[in-house]
Structure 1
């Protein structure tokens, strides 16, 4: 099971003010600002709990699913053995085949010989009764309880154990068995969260939703799985065609293939009875040109290979259920991949959180030049085709690259290994080292500016980035520093630097970049209804890459509903499911009665698809909440309240759930219940900054600014990077205690956020208002350096003597 982080249990939500928070063109408009701020709608943004990019920039926009796929049926991996004995033998040894197994003497690796393990105050026991395996550990009430192990989960370098719970749930015990050799530190029990105190009250306790196999893991650890979540019964009716990851997980249902194998003539079907082919030929597809140090593809890669692998080896959210009946469909027809932004990824695009492989690989030069997973990995064992530099040497001439003249390390040492420099490892789940697949050249210069890691100092831990950069200068000259990279742009944008916008827009339009990098740049762009942003959205909503289109349409979030519909409604008919869903999320508040009959039908089809996806995966609290927010925006009040309550029932510590439910009460004119809801949320999430902010706004609507001010101040302390909190707090102080108090609050906020344009703009306005012209001039010059084309600058010059 993927190790969930605490950050993931808090779904990000965006605020949608009824008025612009920063009207830089008119000082008098500030008087209405506070009223506008109190009417903020807090909503969960369209991003599922999990989050992974389109197959290629020139990927086909049409749905690649085949017409006959629904006619094929599953036959099971055992049916393959008689004709494919070699492949079956290889698969039997693979981690895929052992992804989940019934617990028995052959599959259980852990020590159940009356072993014990202490975590914080809980001592767990591992033992057998006859042929069954048991674990005694803390249950949902914190008391020691005996649980029978039903299944093993994984095999190497660790193995977890699954316990059956009521409602069809299977939960993963957090104490795992380290299956590595003893000399490697293995053959021991260890806890998945060794440095945290996870007890039965915690969101990440093993009996809770975020350690649930059905929700978090089952999709990729079984064949043809359907989760079958029932939101009314709050129960799973999960079913699968094969318990573990079988042949048909990748090849699709095989009944047609069996029929083909029995036919007298087989030459007529290049796909051999399957819905698609997974053909790959490394030796024939890659060749060296005369004297070229790197091989090149002479035949394009098979996109089905990447689509099949991406579904489970990418950080993504699932859009459909039972998608693997046709696993070679274009990836974004059934998954929404995560973009390369912090904190999931470093600014360089390398892995940070547990993001698997595909996202980083998609941004690599390897992918751009046609490398596929099976060029390096045996598809049936999952193992590398070679274990040393000879693997890389198949495409990169050893005479040029596998030599001290290239890597400047002693031969046969770790530093001479290609992967040490170009695929550094990061450890997940306590013991699982995984190599980064962005295949980047170490850039200590970027590490200095973005705090991203690099292979040099990760290995030479006693040295620093300056030392590493000087070493590279000595070996390669200074040219390596000049290689273009998006890292600084991404880091500046993530840090809230407004001058990053132009670089982001340039990057997004650069078709030489990978689709996932371009999409990531769009995701970082400030969503303001500026002409240049709208123009960019219009351009890139027609891009060939689905992930670029889906991020482009989200740029229209702050545009007025009618104009938003005019600009984006064509994407409701997009060939790609992910794009259609993102479009629905953006257009959700468009009144259907204002549409003509044709558009109303188009809207209804797309909306139904979006709702179905959210319902299928409404076991995620964030998805239930998103359904509630959708219905809020459509003024479907009863449905909105029902789904918002479901989100909180699924996770009592789901902060955004309380905020969105409180907003339901605000919109239905019941601020008293909004306050009660937010205070209840604080009982479960006592450090909730968003809860305090929403509660402060609720008190303001009730006319109690005195209650609001300390809540805003505490929200800022808990979340000092949140510009909106600082802005609203300053406005509240200004209106309650006078402009000098508001000015002091803005200055204090700018100590932490020195280059924020919204705070600077408001500060200049107030300094002019109080006739503090010297400071107004100084701050206006600082602002001009960030927004040189803002018309407010010229007006300020006229007002400042």
Structure 2
């Protein structure tokens, strides 16, 4: 981030223009200032002075001031690559969409707000200073960019020691956070990969970098030296952030990828490869990998099967393929995995071979590897298969998910993700594994276990999770607060009530720290709903929609709230608003279909539920609900047909199988029903209800 001036502004402000969605934006100069004429929050053309520029290469954005102390990043950015490389041009970050001033993705909206979205990681000692009363900011910083204290913590003691000549004898130079963890590495005899001499329980450096280089949510004020999960809520390897095998899909900022890697498990830290003070690699090209991997073994044609010095001979191109974000910014996947075209064939995940050989198929890549003598014996048991099945609500994933959760040799983030996916099946397996992980020394596993138990009745949740009210890690405590939120403190003994009340207070305070973020306000509304604090819940939903008028979960939840109190007209208006925003979202059509069903509008209900089923890409819920509606509206044969098609897609979904058994029995097709009941028994051999159902048929 830099103050806009002659030396820092890279874009063309010589009366340049850019046309997007019918709006011509102009870039000009007045005296020593830089100006943009573009559509403001009201959709009308206005003049905005450029206060700051943001970024240098491969793109630079410009920050424009709006009322209330807001700095907004214009979504028309400057491509600072060379003209020969396609740069030196203005371009729109949403070139394939038509974003206007009514859309929250417009540059004036909440998702391009620098104060909330960018500043924390790009300036030092940032104080956001948001005032929710008038939704204004008085944001300050100590340094406009990332300085020493951004990573090492407060530096006053360091400065005092330097001034008095005592710096050399001071531990860690007087800084509060110790980050020098490169360690000592050595090659054992006849080994081609170096190993760390002293293992680490966890890396403070990696977690410190993860503060900004991760997909996460902040709890508010940052506490230097504490665990990452004491300051942030981390995203897991879930859709739509990651592919089923853990490769990057959305922009996830490295941490979630790196902690999947074998390198991380062996003790590699960020500064083993990167020089943190210059942003340069420790060595050029393959030499950075050769620090730990013997070049004669790994930087050889026998290993990479490509011509020396070619693109295919570069370690990073095969093991860290790039995905381009923001139009021109390629980011490498730091999970450093082996290319797996076999998984591409069966579950359509990407692989590095075809990301380079884009004119070839995954089958071609797989056969090429076989020609080199590379075969994969774990295709059917690879964790990605279970994750892929879980995303499709396929119960065949359950046994393997349980194995993944229990396997302590796997990366923690993978086990935590498997735990949450296992919980989506709400079965005994999820319960057993979650109970065990509640005692895990790893906080991410504890968080995932707490989240998993959300399927239990509220009283049982509280009985299991009450010991974690005082967990030393904030992310665990706050997840407990969210999951047990239906528990009313007045129903508890005084000592328990006081502890839970304090936890609820801490949870709401963390949400208040981010009350300029629509998602945080939505979480607050959801908490109030669970607490049956209806007026506060409605006010919070409405505030979330004021911050982001197109926040679909807030619209759907608010419609449910209206309906719960018999305000059907308000619920209908709210859902029509949601439909106007997201015609392509199945859950919106399902909500409208259920509303029409309650209103007795059979044809309208079936129309919306059928649309929800048609739009469903992952999972089975919308198609299942549509089939149930067909049955309830007197069309059991059509319902069976829909369920049979769904069962072929998700062969071991218990709800689908049970509905098929019941409906086939109802129409007298007992032989067919018995076949599906047999599948249920295969899945759940100890279920006495399913056994009786099978016997009755």
The bucket for the TM-score relative to the shorter chain is over 0.9
CA distance in 2, matches of 1:483, 1:706: 44
**Pick from 337, 344, 355: which aligns with 2:241?**
344
CA distance in 1, matches of 2:111, 2:394: 34
Distance 1:426 1:677, change over 3 A: closer
Structure 1 position 624, deviation (Å): 1.0
CA contact (8 A) 1:314 1:358 kept: yes
**Pick from 130, 143, 163: which aligns with 1:242?**
143
**DSSP 3-state at the match of 1:164:** strand
**Pick from 447, 459, 478: which aligns with 2:344?**
447
Structure 1 position 619, deviation (Å): 2.0
For 1:199, the equivalent position in structure 2 comes to 100
**Paired residues for 1:273-422 under 5 Å:** 273-281=174-182, 285-300=184-199, 303-321=203-221, 323=222, 326=224, 328-422=225-319
Structure 1 position 513, deviation (Å): 0.7
| Most deviating of 294-303 and 188-197 | 294-303
Distance 1:300 1:794, change over 3 A: closer
**DSSP 3-state at the match of 1:346:** coil
For 2:65, the equivalent position in structure 1 comes to 164
CA contact (8 A) 2:511 2:521 kept: yes
Structure 1 position 674, deviation (Å): 2.5
CA contact (8 A) 2:342 2:376 kept: no
Structure 1 position 753, deviation (Å): 4.7
Structure 1 position 401, deviation (Å): 1.2
Structure 1 position 272, deviation (Å): 2.6
CA contact (8 A) 2:93 2:326 kept: yes
Distance 1:558 1:463, change over 3 A: same
Cα deviation code 1:311-354 (max 9, x no counterpart): 11111111223x1x51x321111111111123211222111111
- May I ask how many residue pairs the two structures share in their alignment? 696
CA distance in 1, matches of 2:558, 2:377: 52
Distance 1:145 1:497, change over 3 A: same
**Pick from 473, 478, 485: which aligns with 1:581?**
478
Cα deviation code 1:165-190 (max 9, x no counterpart): 01221111111111112222221111
Distance 1:506 1:714, change over 3 A: same
Is 1:260–2:161 an aligned residue pair? yes
**Pick from 534, 543, 547: which aligns with 2:440?**
543
Is 1:179–2:76 an aligned residue pair? no
For 1:145, the equivalent position in structure 2 comes to 46
CA contact (8 A) 2:392 2:620 kept: no
* Alignment TM-score, normalising by the size of structure 2: 0.95
Higher relative contact order (CA 8 A, sep 6+): 1
* Alignment TM-score, normalising by the size of structure 1: 0.83
For 1:129, the equivalent position in structure 2 comes to 30
For 1:516, the equivalent position in structure 2 comes to 413
CA distance in 2, matches of 1:447, 1:199: 37
**Pick from 585, 593, 610: which aligns with 1:696?**
593
CA distance in 1, matches of 2:172, 2:380: 43
CA distance in 1, matches of 2:652, 2:459: 33
CA contact (8 A) 2:446 2:476 kept: yes
Distance 1:267 1:415, change over 3 A: closer
Cα deviation code 1:188-231 (max 9, x no counterpart): 11111122222223331111111211222111111111223333
Structure 1 position 775, deviation (Å): 2.5
Query: Structure 2: where are the runs of 5+ without partners?
Result: none
Structure 1 position 357, deviation (Å): 0.7
Structure 1 position 484, deviation (Å): 6.7
CA contact (8 A) 1:784 1:793 kept: yes
CA distance in 2, matches of 1:569, 1:627: 21
CA contact (8 A) 1:156 1:179 kept: yes
Distance 1:607 1:361, change over 3 A: same
Distance 1:450 1:746, change over 3 A: closer
**Paired residues for 1:201-216 under 5 Å:** 201-216=102-117
Q: CA RMSD in A?
A: 2.3
**DSSP 3-state at the match of 1:350:** coil
Structure 1 position 262, deviation (Å): 3.4
CA distance in 2, matches of 1:491, 1:748: 19
Cα deviation code 1:41-82 (max 9, x no counterpart): xxxxxxxxxxxxxxxxxxxxxxxxxxxxxxxxxxxxxxxxxx
